[in-house]
Amino acid sequence: MSSLKMATPTLASQTPPQTPPLTSSLPTPLIAPTLASQSPSPTPTLASQSPSQAPSLAASPTPSLASPTSSSWHFYQSQQSVADKCAIKVRGLKKAFAANEVLKGVDFTVQRGTIFALLGSNGAGKTTIVQILSTLLKADAGTVEVCGYNVKKQLRKVQESISLTGQFAAVDAILTGRENIMLMANLRGVANARKITAELLERFGLTQAADRRASTYSGGMMRRLDIAMSLVGAPNVIFLDEPTTGLDPEARIEVWRTIKELASGGATILLTTQYLEEAEQLAKQIAILHEGTIIANGTLDELKQMFPPAKIEYVEKQPSLEEIFLAITAKDNSAKDGGAA
C-alpha cells in the first residue's frame, strides 16, 4: 500500500482561528491550516487508563532520539471535557468488497495523545479501517470523525490533519536522507525547510547518515526516515499500518522508541499490528478486530480481567530467543568498540 503523508502545523492559540486559504493546488500531501475545533462526542472513554511499559533498550546500539524541545512537537493540552479529547470516533463502520463483507459495524474511539493498537489476523480488515480513516477508501455505512472532522463531509480538513505511513517505506532510495525530508518539506510549502529537516534528522538519530543515499540505510533507519518524512508539518493524528513488519528485533526496538517519543510529544497514534508483544509494550488502549467487528476494547489490564484469575506457579524463567539475540549482539558490539579504542 502506498504511503500518504499529510500534516498539520502547531496549534497557535486556544481560540478557534480562521482557516487560511490554500496557497497551492497540490494534490497530496496537502498544506494543512490550523486545526479549528473539535466537535463533542457523547461516547465516554475508558476510565482506568494505565500506560504500558516500554522494554529495556539498554542493549540497543541505536542513538537515543532527541527529546522534543520545539513547540511544534507539543500540542495544546487543557482541562477539556473527555469528549473533546477524542481524536478519532468511529460508529457503525461497514465496508464490503463485492460479496465479501469485511467490516460489519465497527465502533471505537481514540483519545488525543495516546497510542491505540488495532489487533487482528491477516484479512481481518485492519488496513481497510486505516484506509477509510485516512480518506483513501469510502465506507459503505457508518460515521467516522478524525480531529472533529467528518471523513465524508470534510474530507480535505481530515487530510490536512493526518499522516499515514504504510506497511512499506515510501522513501526515494536514490536520494539522501536529507534530500528526502527536504523534498517533502518543499512539496508542502513549509517555511524554514532546511531548519525543519535538520531538526527531524537529529530527532530520529539520522544526522550522521543524512548525506548518504537512503538505499544504504538499514531497515530500521529506513523506517525512521519514513516516519520523519511523515512529521513534516507536525500532524495531529498519525496512522501506522504494521510499521515493524519484516524488521529484525533491533530495528523493531528502534521503531518502538520512535513511536513512544511521538506519543509523548502529544501526537495521537493509531497502530495496526499482528504482534501481540508490540501492542502490549506500546499501546494505552487495545482493540481486537475479528470477523469484521471489534470483539474486545480496553487497556491491557482491562483485557486481562476478562480471564479468570491467574494461577500462581513458581517456574524457572528461561530467556527468550529475542533476549538471547539482543544480549549476544550487544556484547559483540561492546567488544568491537573496546578493540577499536
Q: Which three cell numbers stand for residue 336?
A: 568491537
CA distance linking residue 102 with residue 99, whole number of Å: 9
Give the residue with greater pLDDT, 311 vs 205: 205
Mean pLDDT of 223-246: 87
Confidence check: pLDDT of 57 > 50: no
The pLDDT value given to residue 332: 66
Contact between 90 and 108 under an 8 Å Cβ cutoff? The reply is yes
Q: Is a pLDDT exceeding 60 seen at residue 223?
A: yes
- Percent of the chain past pLDDT 70, that is, above it, reads 72
Map grid coordinates 489476523 to a residue: 121
Q: Which helix (H) or strand (E) holds 323?
A: helix 321-340
Q: What is residue 101's three-state secondary structure?
A: strand
- The rounded distance, in Å, linking the Cα atoms of 109 and 297 is 10
Average pLDDT over residues 284-296: 92
Q: For 66-123, how does the pLDDT look when each residue is reduced to its tens digit (9 = 90+)?
A: 444 443 433 333 333 444 578 999 999 999 999 999 999 999 999 999 999 999 888 8
Residue 110 to residue 86: CA distance in whole angstroms: 6
CATH numeric code, 81-161+237-243+270-303: 3.40.50.300
Q: What is the mean pLDDT of the chain?
A: 77
Residue 7 has pLDDT above 50, yes or no: no
Average pLDDT over residues 145-156: 93
Q: Is the pTM here over 0.85, yes or no? A: no
Distance CA 164, CA 3 (A): 6
Q: Is pLDDT above 90 for 42? A: no
Domain assignments of the chain as residue spans, ordered by start? 81-161+237-243+270-303
Asked if 279 and 271 touch (Cβ cutoff 8 Å), the reply is: yes
Q: Which residue, among 163, 52, 46, 35, has the nearest Cα to 109 in the 3D structure? A: 46
Per-position DSSP letters for 186-198, written without gaps between them: HHTT-SSHHHHHH
Residues 120, 287: Cα–Cα separation, whole Å: 9
pLDDT band at 134 (very low <50, low <70, confident <90, very high): very high
Query: Ramachandran region of residue 232, left (φ > 0), alpha (ψ -120 to 50) or beta?
Result: beta
Give which of 12, 6, 242, 300 is closest to 126, Cα–Cα. 242
Query: Contact 143/105 with Cβ under 8 angstroms?
Result: no
Q: Is the pLDDT of residue 3 over 80?
A: no
Question: What percentage of the chain carries pLDDT values higher than 90?
Answer: 38
What average pLDDT does range 6-10 have in this prediction? 43
Peptide bond into 51 cis (omega under 30): no
Reply yes or no on whether the pLDDT at 246 is more than 50.
yes
Q: Is the pLDDT of residue 236 over 70?
A: yes
Given a cut of 80, is residue 58 above it in pLDDT? no
Q: What was the pLDDT predicted at 313? A: 75
| Cα–Cα distance measured from residue 248 to residue 213, given in angstroms and rounded to the nearest whole number | 21
CB 238 within 8 A of CB 162: yes
pLDDT at 194 over 60: yes
Best CA proximity match to 214, nearest among 195, 201, 199, 233: 201
Q: What is the pLDDT of residue 252?
A: 84
Question: Is 80 exceeded by the pLDDT of residue 6?
Answer: no
Which is more confidently placed, 246 or 31?
A: 246
The torsion angles phi and psi of 92, rounded to 5 degrees, stand at 60, 35
pLDDT above 80: residue 329: no
